[in-house]
Structure 1
Amino acid sequence: MKNNHILKAIFAFLIFLGLASCDNRELIQVDNTAAPITMNLSAEHIFLDQNYPDNPALNITWSQAGYTVPVEMNYRIEASATQDFANPYTLGTVAQSVRTATYTVSQMNTAAQTIGLIQDVEGKMYLRVTSYLGSNALSSVSNLTSVMITPYALTYPSFYLVGAASAVGWNSGSAQLLYKKDSKSMIYTYMTPESFRFLGQQAWSPLNYSLDVPATDEPNRYFKQTTPNIVFGDHENMKFTDTEGIYLLEIDADGTKKSLSATKSALGYNYDNLYMVGSINGWDAANPITMTKTGEGTFEVTTTLGADAEFKFIGQKAWAALEWGNILKDNPGNSGYVGPKDANSNIVFHGNGGSYKVTVNLKMGTFTIQ
């Protein structure tokens, strides 16, 4: 029994020594000793040819940043229109052992126009490399260099809505294409509180667009700003959290924004009646052309359309709240998308006096003329 007490005492003493050694272990401090040195560029003047978007346009190399102990570091390559980098654009990031990066014609064009260089005019782009550890710890910035670059007109992505939150569900082949005008894409369409995303085509690959957050699959990170009713859903999707109804979905694909908003429309979609009124009936709202209801929010009529016919859709036999026309104010035309009162223009169709079938889908925010 005495031996047992001795063994227990020795064991307790050994534990005490172990704890003491843990408390006194050496703390390793990491400091930056040298910034990465920018930088050799493969060109001084670049004319970007839109006919070859995937061709290499610029190669950048730099020296390794220095730290007091061996650590895993990352590099961020940035561009700016000004030397102070007040609004830097990130061309890309690379990891530890890589100290070179090549960017295509398309990538350099996006960077040039995002920082404000003018289409078809040669302008100066400043470049730098920043080294950092982990999530931007101990960052160190290189010296600056520059390249003269001539960008071409920027082509913005097309966006197709799909998901349980939308009118099409998860059917990628029926994903809704938004109306696009310059950097803006938009549609007045049905939304319900469920998950959704945008595709770059009516198929699941290759392009998907979701929130630009670490929890999203990296290839799908895109939207940097959203309204509060759009939140992270899962690694592939966003989630719409507002009440069901018709919303204006609006995307600004400008590289400095990449924003997405959902704004409730004052109008719904499941009405009993819809009419056509315009040059086809002398703009007489009291005696419009009656359309036939074919489903929830869907109507059709076959009628005669002459040259430069103009018209709108109304939900009552009067000029009142229920009114739809070509999407956007001051935008007359035949886009195939409807906008509500105070956010529309006349639909303009160059007919030949023949018979045409006109269909409207207020739930999807679209119309067709065949």
Structure 2
Amino acid sequence: MKNKYIINAFYALLLIVGLTSCDDRDLVKADNSGAPIVMDLSSDHIFLDKNYPDNPALNVSWSQATYTVPVEVNYKIEASKDKDFKTPYVLGIVAQSIRTATYTVGQLNTAAQTIGLTKDVEGKMFLRVTSALGADKITAVSNVTSVNVTPYALEYPTFYLVGAASYVGWNSGVAQALYKKNNFSYIYTFMTPENFRFLGQQAWDPINYSIDNPGTDMIKRYFKQTSANIVFGDHENMKFTDPTKIYKIEINADGAVQSINATASALGFDYPNLYVVGTLNSWDAATALPMTKKPNVEGIYELTTNLGANSEMKFLGQKSFGDLEWGNILKDNNGNSGFIGPKNDDSNIVFNGNGGSYKITLNLKAGTYTIE
């Protein structure tokens, strides 16, 4: 019996030693004298030519950072308009075995205008490299260097919505494009309380956009501001939290803002009858042309009719200009964008037909229409 107590005490001692060892590992300090030093920039003055966005523009090299423990080191290359890096822009992140990075004309132009350089005017861009152990727990910062850059007018990202919260689910091949106008992107579409994100293309790689949160993978951090119904989901995604219905998704891609807001629409996505009114029937709502509801599918309606040059139209949910009305997305935005907006945020759809037969398809759930 005495031997049993001795053995138990011995195991308890081992447990205490083990826990103490774990605590000691948390107290490791970085050797800041080994901070990464920016050794070379391939250019002093760079004129960015918008005709060659994929050409290499700048190469950044640095020496290896050293720490007191052999833990994986990641390097973050940052740009800023000021040498104090009050609002740094992350050009990229590389693993410890790499100590050089090359950025294209397009990438450097995005960085230049995001930090606030003026198009067609040479401005100074400051650069530095930050090394980090593990999950950014211990960092060391390089010296600061600079390059003079002349950017061109910024082409803002095209955003594609995907995820369980969206109309398309997790199918990246049909991710929903948003209507883009300057630095803003919009869509009226179905949302449900689930995870989602945005892609930069209709494929998973290479560009993803999610919430700028410490829990998000660094390369996917983008949205600095969100409405209250969009929160952190997981390391790749945001989460939508409001009830299932149609929402106006609005993104401001200005580099100083990078916001996303989801506002509930007063209109739904599934109605028993929908109609087309416009120049094809002299804008007479009482004789609006009925659309056919697609069977066994929510929110999709079709009409085949003849359309002449400069045809204009809208969609109605009743044979009058009442509450149920949809047109081209946004006020004072007559055209053929393929995106719908509800009453008070819509304009006329304008289509240049040739007098032949066209099929008009309206998808209220997706927030789109087509004329083919």
TM-score by length of structure 1 reads 0.80
SS in 2 for 1:77: strand
- Bigger CA drift: 136-145 or 196-205? 136-145
1:348 matched to which residue of 2?
Answer: 350
1:184 matched to which residue of 2?
Answer: 184
Contact 2:30 2:139 in 1 (8 A): no
| Structure 1 counterpart of 2:317, from 308, 315, 320 | 315
SS in 1 for 2:161: strand
SS in 1 for 2:294: strand
Contact 2:29 2:138 in 1 (8 A): no
Higher CA-based Rg: 1
Q: Rate the CA distance shift 1:351–1:243 in 2: closer, same or farther, 3 A.
A: same
Q: Rate the CA distance shift 1:365–1:96 in 2: closer, same or farther, 3 A.
A: closer
C-alpha deviation, 1:246, in angstroms: 0.6
Distance across 2 between alignment mates of 1:342 and 1:132:
50
Letter paired with 1:316 = Q
Distance across 2 between alignment mates of 1:341 and 1:89:
39
Letter paired with 1:157 = P
1:287 matched to which residue of 2?
Answer: 287
Letter paired with 2:306 = T
Count residues in correspondence.
358
Letter paired with 1:117 = L
| Structure 2 counterpart of 1:364, from 344, 363, 366 | 366
Computed over aligned residues only, the root mean square deviation of the Cα atoms, in angstroms, reads 3.7
Letter paired with 1:110 = T
Contact 1:39 1:145 in 2 (8 A): no
SS in 1 for 2:152: coil
Unpaired segments ≥5 residues, structure 1:
none
1:333 matched to which residue of 2?
Answer: 335
C-alpha deviation, 1:46, in angstroms: 0.9
Unpaired segments ≥5 residues, structure 2:
none
1:40 matched to which residue of 2?
Answer: 40
* 1:227 and 2:218 correspond: no
SS in 2 for 1:107: helix
Contact 1:54 1:106 in 2 (8 A): yes
| CA offsets 1:275-307 (integer angstroms, 9 cap, x no match) | 222233333333322323224322222233222
Distance across 2 between alignment mates of 1:34 and 1:206:
32
Identity of aligned residues (%): 65
Distance across 2 between alignment mates of 1:104 and 1:316:
53
Letter paired with 2:363 = N
1:1-370 equivalences under 5 Å are: 32=32, 37-62=37-62, 75-94=75-94, 99-130=99-130, 142-217=142-217, 219-295=219-295, 296-370=298-372
| CA offsets 1:203-222 (integer angstroms, 9 cap, x no match) | 44444443344544555444
C-alpha deviation, 1:99, in angstroms: 5.0
| CA offsets 1:111-140 (integer angstroms, 9 cap, x no match) | 111112233332222223445666666766
TM-score by length of structure 2 reads 0.80
C-alpha deviation, 1:336, in angstroms: 0.8
Contact 1:31 1:138 in 2 (8 A): no
Letter paired with 1:232 = F
Contact 1:32 1:138 in 2 (8 A): no
